[in-house]
Structure 1
Amino acid sequence: MPQITVDYSSTMDPAFDRAGFARALHASVVEIAAAKPEACKTLFRPAEFTAFGYDDPEERGHAVVHVTLGLLAGRTDETKTKLTETVLELLRAHVADGGFVLHASAEVRDLDPSYRKYES
């Protein structure tokens, strides 16, 4: 915990500083949600094909990124809101102008009580 997933249009690859974003995001999660640094994990999942409205997806004029943060239950709504707002600020700082319109979103979810993990 936290489990962080970043789904994004591969159109963003050259413009998206993923390493810098992950470092800044982990620091923010530690500060805002009292997570342990060694518990922060982020999985980036590029999507080869994304579509926006009625625009031709082949023109690649739009990019979509959605960040999901899974945290153990108990955080206040205020904490969750501050995290999502911080995620959007960090995306603005770590995605350069790539010639596309960026559509960014974020959400915080409580992990199910059945959540377990292991390391080997």
Structure 2
Amino acid sequence: MPHLVIDFSANLTDFPEAQILKDVNAALCKSPEIKDEADVKSRTNRIAHFEIGNQPANRGFVHAQLRLLAGRSPETKKDLAERIAVVLRKHTPHPAGMLVQLSVEILDMDRASYVKERL
């Protein structure tokens, strides 16, 4: 915990995955909610097959999900979502003539059923 998954449409051909992961981890680790930087696990998924509405030409998306153990305040969740959004706004390509939608979602994970170990 936390787990960050960033999905993006494959038509964003210049999406700088490595830079975004580096910068988003740095932004999240600056939050007082993150006690151990090694707990932040981030990854990207290039989505090859997708539809956006019923006129998908020249449309793309980036969607981030941050999964946290339940119990964070709404203010904390808002802060973490904005930290992610700032990085995505900075680095997400938006080619001329393309509508790119950006979204960030914070999801609670059930503490009682979550298992984590360091091996």
TM-score by length of 2: 0.85
Distance 1:68 1:35, change over 3 A: farther
Distance 1:40 1:49, change over 3 A: same
- Give me the identity figure in percent: 28
- Correspondence 1:77 to 2:74: yes
Counterpart amino acid of 2:20?
A: F
Q: Aligned residues, how many?
A: 116
Which has more helix, going by share of residues? 1
| Deviations 1:87-117 (CA, angstroms, capped at 9, x unpaired) | 2221111112334221111111121121113
- Correspondence 1:64 to 2:61: yes
Task: Let me know the Cα RMSD of the aligned residues.
Answer: 1.7
Using the alignment, how far apart are the partners of 1:97 and 1:31 within structure 2?
Answer: 27
TM-score by length of 1: 0.84
Using the alignment, how far apart are the partners of 1:28 and 1:89 within structure 2?
Answer: 9
Using the alignment, how far apart are the partners of 1:48 and 1:74 within structure 2?
Answer: 35
Alignment map for 1:39-118 (pairs within 5 Å)? 39-55=39-55, 57=56, 59=57, 61-99=58-96, 100-113=98-111, 114-118=113-117
Displacement after TM superposition at 1:119 (Å) = 4.7
In structure 1, the partner of 2:5 is 5
Distance 1:34 1:119, change over 3 A: closer
In structure 2, the partner of 1:23 is 22
Distance 1:88 1:8, change over 3 A: same
